[in-house]
Structure 1
Amino acid sequence: MKPSIPQGTRDFNAETVRKRNYIFNSIRQVFELYGFQPLETPTMENLDTLMGKYGEEGDKLIFKILNNGLERPEKHVRAKEDFEKVLAGKNTAGITERALRYDLTIPFARYVAMNHGQLTFPFKRYQIQPVWRADKPQRGRYREFCQCDADVVGSKSLLNEVELAGIYATVFAKLGIAVEIKINNRKILAALAELCGGADKMMDITIAIDKLDKIGLDKVKEELAQRGLQPQQIELIEKYLAIDGGNEEKLQQLSLLIGENETGKKGLEELSFVLNYQNNPAFVADFTLARGLNYYTGTIFEVKAVGVNMGSIGGGGRYDDLTGLFGVPNLPGVGISFGVDRIYDVMEELKLFPEAVQTGTQLLFFNLGEAESKNAFELAQQLRARKIRCEIYHEQAKFDKQFKYAEKKNIPYIAIIGSKELQEGICNVKDLQKGEQTTVQQAELAGHLQNLLHIAE
């Protein structure tokens, strides 16, 4: 049978891993600059931890894990009936009690609820781990992908939103990606629902609006009608979606539309606060932004790369009642997430990865005999102690074979130590790109390479 991997998953070769690590490290450095500390949670969570937290659409995409046939034998498993329930999207403990994590936010909220007595608040954490979604695979959308999250819990201050927005701006500037950072507020959407007849219409409206980019205005209006909204309510939503102009103009138009609605006025006030801190044209007030997840309650973010046909490469928002879902009320939170896989695709398309990122081994010692390779090993250990990545060709072989190995691995420098060089305590270093060769005293080899590679002590 021909080997394969599950649809929507990928293997990563050395070049890809190095590029991904460049993204991870760039994000991690900025998280640390802003005072966030790392956290990791298990790959799987109890099913009741995840279900009901992502809305109707999200719950369908949770990967459930079948119970091991040997565990909990005291439970009577009615296989046919239980499997029918699972296939219908329902849950039964006889078949499944756990699932792969869908995102990093809900596991974080569960962690805070379990450990809130030992944490210092506001608690600022970042998390870089894979997540799984039973989505239809396509370009930029995978079933297994990595998220990078930063969250603050235990503070209502809007300065947290300002700082998270700053993290987005800093990271994407560092990576060289031109972005549009869209900001809205769920209170504004709640006000729209109230103006359309009641808060109970909130999810119907946000789920439909969230699809605007994918299906267009006419289809959104059709979906709203199917969800029971009346023509005059749909007309109001259409006016809302038609708001345009600069940030200030948009805020003024929205103020007129929502009138004296208290929920809407509060949302406008919060949105204005966050935008007024940003002296950056990348930040855009976007009232079509809905982030169709149940748990957002205030500011919401979404990041799009400019000039690339790609979905969002970041998103997040405030979720003031999230830990209340786990029996720990009154712990407000706000967070953002980076979509690393999409960021990678954007950087590949725009050729934004620095050349140095793709370099693994920096120097290859040719193997020209037993005594020579032993000398090379001693030198290699000295170089490694000075942060120079090097290796020795694994066996004595013709020059041509060793040269080809270096070329295929994109190793920029080679070091040749033959019997003459061994006797004289020297080493021939060749730059494979320039074709230039230099003879160096072995005692000076490390310093010579540090200069060539621009490696600081």
Structure 2
Amino acid sequence: MNKPSIPKGTRDFSPIEMAKRNYIFDTIRQVYALYGFQQIETPAMETLQTLMGKYGEEGDKLLFKVLNSGDYMNKITDEDLSQRSSLHLAAKLCEKGLRYDLTVPFARYVVMHREELQLPFKRYQIQPVWRADRPQKGRYREFYQCDADVVGSDSLLNEVELMQIVDTVFTRFGVRVQIKINNRKILTGMAEVIGAADKIVDITVAIDKLDKIGLESVNEELAADGISAEAIEKLQPIISLSGTNDEKLATIAEVLKGSEIGMKGVEETRFILDTLKKCSLKNEIQLDLTLARGLNYYTGAIFEVKALDTPMGSITGGGRYDNLTGIFGMPGLSGVGISFGADRIFDVLNTLDLYPKEAINTTQLVFINFGEKETEYCMPIITKARAAGIRTEIFPDSVKMKKQMSYANSKQIPFVALAGDNEMNEGKVTLKNMTTGEQSLVTPEELISIITE
């Protein structure tokens, strides 16, 4: 018999892992709601028409496609088969695919429900996505995204609010972070000023590696991308910027004064940073010109968040995009959004041991089962305890006491209640505190107040 297994790049989550994940999702949900965001969900499957061509050629290859139901081979000709082209066949055999991210389904949702949406529309979505990627450490084929977006408003107050959301979420988690901010318009302006407008992607990709490979290697990479020595020279003050956010902005404005789009980027960034100064953030926000965010659809502010107390890639990212719904023929709807990396946040909270006990301890109280009449006596007390919000179990079988106690220990249940003849005669129970080992004879009311205090 083959041992059962799960597909590569997927995971089972144990009860303790689920409790931790739910703590993460619930915290993010509560903060999103605080800022007026509302939750939507979209189907796991979308039509391939919706998904294909939205993520570039690479993305198309990473889409999980779903075979049509019924006799899906009957429309396939021998000629189709003789081509032996999986892409060609997939186009005929599959009309649906698993969603690759939450942004494209959201764009489709906005276009389909345009009539009933109140703009600006502030939505959040916490759902799994699927990518047929090569699984490796930290990269899965099925993982959750936690996105929030505002569409239908050009106001930079949206960017300010998203930064406040990030700050609030990580403050609640107890994680110290650095929020990095940049603007695509500044990057475009840089490319313009140095006369290499078509090289914007190469420039940002190279600059993005500054932390990893150092200035010299970045310059070598820029040269290898065909950027002239003169242009690389002009980029130096920008690549190796330092000082406060205001000082950096002043340097950038000086370099970009010949570029209209670049100056627009400086202005937008200045507004966001100046407004945030009045919002007393708990975490540092830093203007970082090397921040390019891989995705090319960002058109304004871009953000990334890094944990300060443990090495980990970006744990949240996002930015402003001008044309979310243009891919579905409805141009001109601007949006800005962020996405929390739940899996990475999970690892950070584990490494720093920041889960609150009450978030991950399941049962608070377990009643020992001594037999039928004792159980009958305990049931009304259990009902009262649950009514008071205490997570309570009774051991279902009257087996040896030792076995029942080891059940309580292995589940780290803090309190155990016992009721034998003596307790029943007095209308009480013996309550044992599993942490201190103390025992006391208490009434049901006292039991409730001890555990809930």
The alignment's TM-score, normalised by the length of structure 2, stands at 0.91
Partner of 1:161: 159
2:83 alignment partner, SS class: helix
Mapped to 1, the partners of 2:292 and 2:77 lie a distance apart of 43
The aligned runs of 1:376-387 (5 Å cut-off) are 376-387=378-389
The corresponding residue for 1:427 is: 429
Q: Distance in 2 between matches of 1:291 and 1:177?
A: 22
Q: Secondary structure at the match of 2:299?
A: coil
Higher mean C-alpha displacement, 153-162 vs 3-12: 3-12
Contact map agreement 1:184 1:271 (CA 8 A) in 2: yes
User: Which structure 1 segments of 5+ residues have no match?
Assistant: none
User: Corresponding residue for 1:8?
Assistant: 9
Residue of structure 1 in register with 2:173 after alignment = 175
CA distance in structure 2 between the aligned counterparts of 1:221 and 1:58, rounded to whole angstroms: 29
1:449 matched to 2:451: no
Of stretches 191-200 and 36-45 in structure 1, the one that deviates more from structure 2 is: 191-200
Q: Is the 8 A contact 2:388 2:448 kept in 1?
A: no
> 1:133 and 1:218 mapped to 2: Cα distance?
35
Please give the secondary structure, in 1, of the residue aligned with 2:13.
coil
Say if 1:153 and 1:331, in contact at 8 Å, map to a contact too: yes
- Greater than 6 Å deviation, 4+ residue runs: none
Per-residue Cα deviation, 1:293-319 (whole angstroms, up to 9, x for no partner): 122111111000002111100000111
For residues 155 and 431 of structure 1, do their structure 2 counterparts lie closer, same or farther at Cα, with a shift above 3 Å needed?
A: same
Tell me the CA shift for residue 421 of structure 1: 2.1
Aligned residues: 447
Matched with 1:53 is 54
In the TM superposition, what is the alpha-carbon distance from 1:239 to its structure 2 partner?
4.2
* Partner of residue 152, structure 1: 150
Alignment map for 1:62-211 (pairs within 5 Å): 62-68=63-69, 70-71=71-72, 73-74=74-75, 76=77, 78-79=80-81, 81=83, 83-85=85-87, 93-197=91-195, 199-211=197-209
How far apart are 1:136 and its partner, in Å? 4.2
State how far apart, in whole Å, the 1-side matches of 2:115 and 2:205 are. 36
In the aligned structure 1, how far is the partner of 2:11 from the partner of 2:195? 47
Query: Cα–Cα, structure 1 residues 83 and 237, in superposed 2: closer, same or farther, change >3 Å?
Result: farther
Shift of 1:75: 5.4
Q: Name the CA distance, whole Å, in 2 between partners of 1:192 and 1:95.
A: 47
Residue of 394, 419, 423 corresponding to 2:396 = 394
Pick closer, same or farther for the CA change 1:405–1:63 going to 2, 3 Å. same
- 1:353 aligned counterpart, secondary structure: coil
Give yes or no for the alignment of 1:289 onto 2:288: no
1:60 Cα shift? 4.8
Please point out which of 221, 235, 251 is paired with 1:253.
251
Q: Is the 8 A contact 1:53 1:295 kept in 2?
A: no
After TM superposition, the structure 1 stretch with the greater mean CA deviation from structure 2, 197-206 or 24-33, is 197-206
Match of 2:338, SS state, is: strand
- Deviation per residue, 1:367-417 (Å, 9 max, x gap): 001111122223222222221111110100111111101000000001111
Q: Distance in 1 between matches of 2:141 and 2:123?
A: 25
Aligned to 1:19: 20
- For 1:23, what is the secondary structure of its paired residue? helix
- State the alpha-carbon separation in 1 of the partners of residues 48 and 218 from structure 2: 32
- Say which is worse superposed, 165-174 or 141-150, in terms of deviation: 141-150
Q: Which moved more, 1:191-200 or 1:150-159?
A: 191-200
Specify the alignment match of 1:440 in structure 2: 442
428-437 or 58-67: which moved more? 58-67
- Secondary structure of 1:376's partner? helix
The residue type paired with residue 311 of structure 2 is N
Q: Secondary structure at the match of 2:116?
A: coil
Deviations 1:15-36 (A, max 9, x none): 1111111111111111110001
Number of the residue aligned with 1:321? 323
Q: Residue type of the partner of 1:453?
A: T
Q: Within 1, Cα distance between the matches of 2:208 and 2:51? A: 21
Q: Write the distance in 2 (CA, Å) between the matches of 1:52 and 1:224.
A: 29
CA distance, structure 2, for counterparts of residue 410 and residue 360 of structure 1: 8
1:355 aligns to 2:364 (yes or no): no
Q: Which moved more, 1:124-133 or 1:189-198?
A: 189-198
d(CA) in 1 for partners of 2:221, 2:92: 36
Higher mean C-alpha deviation, range 395-404 or range 371-380? 371-380
Deviation per CA, 1:84-136, whole angstroms, max 9, x where unpaired?
Answer: 547xxxx9512444332222122111110111111011111111111223344
Greater shift after overlay, 294-303 or 417-426? 417-426
- 1:316-370 Cα offsets, whole Å, 9 max, x none, are 0111211111111221111111001100100111111112222101100100011
2 CA distance for matches of 1:211 and 1:68? 46
Deviation track 1:111-162 (CA, whole Å, cap 9, x = no partner) reads 1011111101111111111122334444433332211111111100000000
Corresponding position of 2:345: 343
User: 1:259 aligns to what SS in structure 2?
Assistant: coil
Residues in 1 aligned to 2:448 and 2:192: alpha-carbon distance in whole angstroms: 68
Task: Return closer, same or farther for 1:14/1:82 CA change in 2, 3 Å cut-off.
Answer: same
SS in 2 for 1:93: helix
Q: CA deviation at 1:450?
A: 4.1
Contact 1:76 1:94 in 2 (8 A): no
| Inter-partner Cα distance in structure 2 for 1:19 and 1:399 | 31
Q: TM-score normalised to the size of structure 1? A: 0.90
Q: CA deviation at 1:201?
A: 2.9
Greater CA drift, 41-50 or 218-227: 218-227
